[in-house]
């Protein structure tokens, strides 16, 4: 006897250049209600850029298609927030090209604005793969938000989250689901707690 489970959403592969995350920053909603804060250190961010520079493997990110009332499609970041922020910080001159890259380029240790055109082009052309979740496009649909928050929670198992981050990821607040200025805020704030995993103590 076979077990039949309906697919709750579609999954499509998509590839972005690193430059996409800089030039189209408004396209990515990097802090949906269930996401944790920006927690990476500058060293961690620089190490990620080093991985791209050396063309090392970088795990795929997970995005959710969200449609605004004006029919503009945006990407809500389900998994990969820290990577996207690190990429954007690099292009915004907030972090430097890691000094350990001095074995490849004399531009190691410089910020993006100070890099040679050749080094800029090399970094801009590197890519990051994504899995895009479709069919969950209404940002105010409570069921959709619960599904996506559950996806996020399951992906975080095995990763180090602080106690507050764990509680934050379980919380759904419709008021905080307003992802762009053009989305009208709900009239009431509601909270939906997902099933709790093993208890964790504050770190």
pLDDT in the model for residue 183: 38
pLDDT in the model for residue 145: 86
Name the band, by pLDDT with cuts 50, 70 and 90, for residue 20.
Answer: very high
Name the band, by pLDDT with cuts 50, 70 and 90, for residue 6.
Answer: confident
Q: What pLDDT digit, counting tens, does each position of 38-60 carry?
A: 789 999 999 999 999 999 999 99
42-53 helix and 81-91 helix, angle to the nearest 10 degrees: 80
DSSP 72-90: -EEEEEEE-HHHHHHHHHH
Maximum Cα interatomic distance, the chain, rounded to a whole number of Å: 63
Which residue in 16, 20, 56, 32 sits closest to 177, CA to CA?
32
pLDDT in the model for residue 131: 96
pLDDT in the model for residue 37: 66
Tokens of 79: 């998994």
Greater confidence (67 vs 14) lies with 14
Name the band, by pLDDT with cuts 50, 70 and 90, for residue 35.
Answer: low
- The domains found in the chain, sorted by start residue, are 10-193 (3.90.1530.10)
Q: What pLDDT digit, counting tens, does each position of 94-121 carry?
A: 999 999 999 999 999 999 999 999 999 9
Q: What pLDDT digit, counting tens, does each position of 141-194 carry?
A: 889 988 988 888 888 775 544 433 444 444 443 333 433 334 334 333 323 333
């Amino acid at each position: 006897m076979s077990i039949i489970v309906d697919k709750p959403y579609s999954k499509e592969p998509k590839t972005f250049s690193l430059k996409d995350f800089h030039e189209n920053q408004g396209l990515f909603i990097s802090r949906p209600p269930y996401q944790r804060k920006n927690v990476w250190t500058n060293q961690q961010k620089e190490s990620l850029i080093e991985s791209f520079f050396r063309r090392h493997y970088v795990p795929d990110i997970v995005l959710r298609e969200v449609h605004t009332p004006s029919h503009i499609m945006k990407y809500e970041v389900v998994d990969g927030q820290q990577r996207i922020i690190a990429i954007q910080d690099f292009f915004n001159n907030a972090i430097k090209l890691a000094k350990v890259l001095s074995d490849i380029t004399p531009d190691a240790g410089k910020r993006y604005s100070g890099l040679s055109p050749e080094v800029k082009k090399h970094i801009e052309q590197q890519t990051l793969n994504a899995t895009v979740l479709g069919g969950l496009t209404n940002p105010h649909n409570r069921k959709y938000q619960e599904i996506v928050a559950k996806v996020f929670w399951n992906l975080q198992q095995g990763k180090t989250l602080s106690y507050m981050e764990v509680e934050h990821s379980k919380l759904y607040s419709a008021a905080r689901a307003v992802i762009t200025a053009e989305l009208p805020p709900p009239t009431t704030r509601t909270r939906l707690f997902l099933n709790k995993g093993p208890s964790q103590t504050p770190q």
